[in-house]
Amino acid sequence: NNLLDISRFIIIQGIGGIGKSTFMKHLFINELSKNDLIPVFIELKDLNDLDNDYNICDYIFSKLNNLESRFKKDYMGYALQSGCFLFLLDGYDEIVSDKKDVFFKKITTFCDKYSENYYIISSRPYNEFIEFQRFTVLKLCDFNKKQALSLISKVEFDEKIKCRFIKALEGDLYDRH
């Protein structure tokens, strides 16, 4: 609940498969329920399909317009200036290398212009984060078995599959002791 108290600019870093995207989606849903900010979830791998001359405002507007077609572009600048957005930019590590520099320059300019908003980027560990000077890097920690079992028991999913998965984890837990 206090993640946004740390900084307006955060990088969530973790190894592959640790749950960065799931965590980002959790932040999105959590923010929707609070009604404080407008969360915008963007999978950065989609930038790989764009030419390098894309406009980041236009791209964000297109993402917003996909969800709510009544959102008017005329209001976009005002909304961005007001700081009412939480941008969840998922998967920096999934941007192909020749497009990362372009994205970095565009997001830096965007953050300079609209610094009242909140920005969270997820990625696998990279040395390149030194370039993201304004961002605070936070690392996701692994779950232990007890935490994993607790989470799985709470997830709404096919009960038979969930029970088999829990039994497999519990079996693994006992085999190691």
The pLDDT, as a whole number, for residue 174 is 47
Greater pLDDT, 2 or 86: 86
Q: What is the tens place of the pLDDT at every residue in 128-157?
A: 666 778 898 899 888 788 887 887 888 788
**Alpha-carbon dihedral 125, 20, 61, 34, rounded to 10 degrees:** -130
Strand 136-139's sheet: what is its strand order?
Answer: 38-43, 85-90, 118-123, 9-13, 136-139
Q: What is the tens place of the pLDDT at every residue in 161-171?
A: 888 888 887 77
Has residue 172 got a pLDDT over 80? Answer: no
The pLDDT, as a whole number, for residue 126 is 76
pLDDT band at 71 (very low <50, low <70, confident <90, very high): low
90, 44 in Cβ contact below 8 A?
yes
Q: What is the tens place of the pLDDT at every residue in 2-36?
A: 889 999 999 999 988 888 998 999 999 999 888 88
Radius of gyration of the chain (CA): 19
Question: What are the structure tokens assigned to 49, written together?
Answer: 């399909």
**Residue 38: strand, helix, or coil:** strand
Overall pTM surpassing 0.85 (yes/no): no
CA 27 to CA 79: how far, in whole Å? 20
Has residue 109 got a pLDDT over 70? Answer: yes
| C-alpha distances out from residue 40 to 3, 88, 153, Å | 16, 6, 29
At 96, phi and psi to the nearest 5? -65, 150
Q: Which long-range contacts (CB under 8 A, 24 or more apart) does 29-35 make?
A: 31/86
Question: H/E element holding 3?
Answer: helix 3-6
